Amino acid sequence: EKLRPIAPRLDYVELPGSMEVSVFEAAGLPEGAILSVRAGSTRRQAPLPLAGPLRFPNLPFNAKQFKVDVMQTLGSSKVEINANKELESYSVAVDIGNGQLARVGFTVREQPSLCGKRACELKQVDKNPEGMMEEPQAMQLPPEKARAALDSRSYAREHNIPNLVQEMLQHVLREKPDMPFSVMSEYFRRKGEEMGEKYEGGKPLQQMGTPQAAWQAPAAAAAPAPQAAPGPSSAPALQSPPMSRSLEPSMAQSGAPSMAAPPVAPAMQPAM
């Protein structure tokens, strides 16, 4: 990189949690020059003329000192990246002019993006690859939580959940529909059908790992059976059926209680 001293005129705007730097003048620079602005440990650079502002996320509002560099390209080369592999190393040769050939080696590593509590656990487990500084408390995750975080990561990668959620959010924010939740629901339904999920009657055949019949059965079992309203000639619901008249005398002679009424002890009669 060839650096040239320059003092371009900059204008910066502070936003909540971020900062934008807009370049409104850059005179006397060679064609193809690259403007680099560094604020603290964060650097943003782009070829001139800039198509938009340079954005610095998560910078304090009192960051008042910038370092401005103007660079020229010594050489460039293209390399095909395999996005389906979690970790891949590449080596590329770069012609820097004057018959000099340089070589650059680098590693491309997938960094998942998840939401919620598992995201924090995943970040702790997934840090500290070779050549990176270990973050505080990165290796203090309990084994059971570490396994759960890795399982969550594998599940998310298997179903491509982070990319699908990001794509859905971008679509909703871009289109701004009147009924965003219906649009999101239809989006996930369509993606599920594309991935082979089956639907019946507007509901998935499997919900949270339980077959449909299982999670609908309790509701059906809990519903009370309908009862007919009693009419004027109907007997009370709990009354025993009437006994045949031919059996009443014989049962009375034997001292057995009648079945037409609740069983009671026979009355004792005084001896004559």
The string of pLDDT tens digits covering residues 90-132 is 888 888 888 888 998 988 876 655 444 445 544 444 444 443 4
| pLDDT of res. 95 | 87
Q: Residue 156 has what pLDDT?
A: 83
> What are the backbone angles phi and psi of residue 157, rounded to the nearest 5°?
-70, -35
pLDDT at 47: 85
The predicted pLDDT at position 154 comes to: 84
Q: Tell me 114's DSSP state.
A: -
pLDDT(211) > 70: no
Give the start-to-end residue ranges of the domains of the chain: 2-72, 74-110, 117-158, 160-196
Residue 126 and residue 111 in contact, taking contact as beta carbons nearer than 8 Å: yes
Single out the residue of 113, 132, 135 nearest to residue 122, CA to CA. Answer: 113
9 beta partners: 25
More confident residue, 29 or 272: 29
pTM (2 d.p.): 0.34
Average pLDDT of the segment spanning 37-57: 82
